[in-house]
Structure formats: structure tokens, C-alpha cells
Amino acid sequence: MATTLAQPGEYQETIKKSLFLALAAPVADAQAAMDFIAGRSDPDATHNCWAYRVGDQCRFNDDGEPGGSAGRPILQAIDGQQCDRVAVLVIRWYGGIKLGTGGLVRAYGGCAANCLRLTPRLEIIERVRASCHCAYGDLQWLQSRLAAAGAAVVAESFDGEGATLTLDIPRVAVADLAQAITDATRGRSSLELA
């Protein structure tokens, strides 16, 4: 079960005199992730390292830290927390003590993981588009059944025989809803996936 963040999150930690600030946010797409990172990066900080995941798309950046010691551990924290549609920026202000590659991996990955763990989350519910034409006599029943299935009416049109509804439905509810529509209307109406 993939989750995303319900709201932006923040976590701060000092490790061997370096200050690490992790900022995380839910994002709809790669452009939103890059906008978040650009908007929250601190040009006065020593490093602004980041990662994001949106479905199969992911990117990360070490921003001058040794290769693989910052961005990749942040992405691993996102994946380890089973998050999707999330961007994480970890800002570091160098405190004068070198951490070494292993220390950097633990610092960046740990701060990112703590930030994600402490931020409220929402389950990602995959949704699909579908349409259904029903007689006017079935419309009230259909509307109540749609609400019970977590479906939303996106558009509707009417003709002499009834209504055509364009629907946004949770994927897990499609089969049960399609069967209920067919049964209740004795086959006169059916759910068609877009």
C-alpha cells in the first residue's frame, strides 16, 4: 500500500555540528517536485540534496556531496517508507567536522526517513474513469450507490431516455459497482471503463 503525505513535513537534527533540515511535501508530478525543491532550497546552505518519487519517475541529487552519499539515501528513505508522490529536500549547513561517506549516507537517509515517518500520511487510492447510462427511474438509486462506492460524478448529460454519467471511481470498487448496476437495472445499464 503506497502512501503520500497529508501535508508538508519538517525534521531537523544536528549531527557532529552540521545542521540537517529535512523538508518533505506531497507532489502531483515531477514538475511540482522540482518547483518544491527550487522554492525551498537555501542558497546560503552548504548543500541542498534532494530526491522525489512520482510513480515510476524518480530523481535525486547530491549537490556536491560525494556521489551516492546524499540523494540516493533520501530516495531510499522515500521507498523504504513506501511513499509515492513525495519530494524530500535535506539542507545541510556544514559544522566543521567531516562525516565521511558512511556518515553522510546515515545522516541524509536518516533525516529524510524521520521527516517522512513523523508527517501524517494518506493512502493513495488509484482511481479510474468510467461512464454509465441509466434510465431516469434508476438515477436516484445509482447516485446513492455511487456515493457508497466512493465514486464521484465528473460530468452528466441527459437525453429522452435517461442520464449518462461520467464517473471517477476507486479502482478497487469497479467490479462490485459494475455488478450492482447490472443487477439492479436487470442489465439495462452497465459500467463502461474509459
Do 61 and 16 fall within a single domain?
yes
**Domain extent at residue 45:** 3-123
Instruction: Please report, for the domain that includes residue 186, its CATH number.
Output: 3.30.70.240
Do 148 and 179 fall within a single domain?
yes
Do 62 and 148 fall within a single domain?
no
Do 168 and 93 fall within a single domain?
no
What is Dmax (Cα atoms) for the chain?
Answer: 77
Confidence at residue 119, expressed as pLDDT on a 0 to 100 scale = 96
Confidence at residue 173, expressed as pLDDT on a 0 to 100 scale = 85
Do 117 and 165 fall within a single domain?
no
Q: Is the pTM of this model over 0.85?
A: no
Q: Which grid cell sits at 18?
A: 552540521
Query: How many structural domains does the chain have?
Result: 2
Do 113 and 184 fall within a single domain?
no
Cβ distance 125 to 158 under 8 Å? no
Do 16 and 70 fall within a single domain?
yes
Cβ distance 191 to 181 under 8 Å? yes
In the chain, how many H helices and how many E strands? Answer: 5, 11
Last residue of a domain, one of 73, 95, 123: 123
CA 174/CA 146 separation, integer angstroms? 10
All residues at 6 or more sequence positions from 29 whose CB lies less than 8 Å from its CB, including other chains? 54
Cβ distance 55 to 150 under 8 Å? no
Do 101 and 142 fall within a single domain?
no
Do 29 and 82 fall within a single domain?
yes
Do 95 and 35 fall within a single domain?
yes
Do 74 and 164 fall within a single domain?
no
Cβ distance 190 to 178 under 8 Å? yes
Do 131 and 118 fall within a single domain?
no
The per-residue pLDDT string of the chain (194 residues; one tens digit each, 9 = 90 and over) reads 689 999 999 999 999 999 999 999 999 999 999 999 999 999 999 999 999 999 999 999 999 999 999 999 999 999 999 999 999 999 999 999 999 999 999 999 999 999 999 999 998 888 889 888 888 888 888 888 888 888 888 898 898 888 888 989 888 888 888 888 888 888 888 888 87
